[in-house]
Amino acid sequence: MTVPLLTTAATVRCPHGGTVQLSTANARVISGGAAVCLATDRHTVSGCPFTLPSGTSSPCTTVQWSVPATLESLGGTPPLLQTSVGLCLSAAQVPQGPAVVVSTQTGVKGL
């Protein structure tokens, strides 16, 4: 079953409600006016309120993606899907939970 590709116009949040700013090195493949994101892209997070039990602030700062499309590639790099797994990381690169894809385009799909 095909699923929508993730584009820079998608809405993605960290598990604590921070906003993920999607950007990509891809400038060639566009869907609905937005560039399709690639598996190699890293995205920044802003506004994450996460605090460790000790009271130390430890907000999510980036998202690293895995499980991209397996049958498509853009310039040799697989695109991200709505179902791709994003791992939110702190500034110290500590995993802090999965990214949540709230919405994305539905026109272009992949496997």
What is the Cβ-side half-sphere exposure of residue 96, based on CA atoms within 13 angstroms? Answer: 26
pLDDT recorded at residue 107: 67
Token pair for 18: 């921070």
pLDDT recorded at residue 3: 85
Q: Are 64 and 40 in contact (CB under 8 A)?
A: no
Q: Which residues of the chain have pLDDT under 70?
A: 107-111
- pTM, full prediction: 0.89
Which whole-number Å values give the CA distances from 9 to 12, 35, 96, in the listed order? 9, 8, 24
pLDDT recorded at residue 52: 92
Q: Are 82 and 3 in contact (CB under 8 A)?
A: yes
pLDDT recorded at residue 111: 57
* Cβ neighbours of 12 (radius 10 Å): 24
pLDDT recorded at residue 32: 86
pLDDT recorded at residue 71: 84
Which whole-number Å values give the CA distances from 93 to 9, 45, 60, 111, in the listed order? 25, 13, 9, 29
pLDDT recorded at residue 106: 73
Token pair for 41: 């892209």
pLDDT recorded at residue 110: 67
Domain that holds residue 101: 3-110
Number of domains comprising the chain: 1
Cα separation, 103 vs 82, whole angstroms: 8
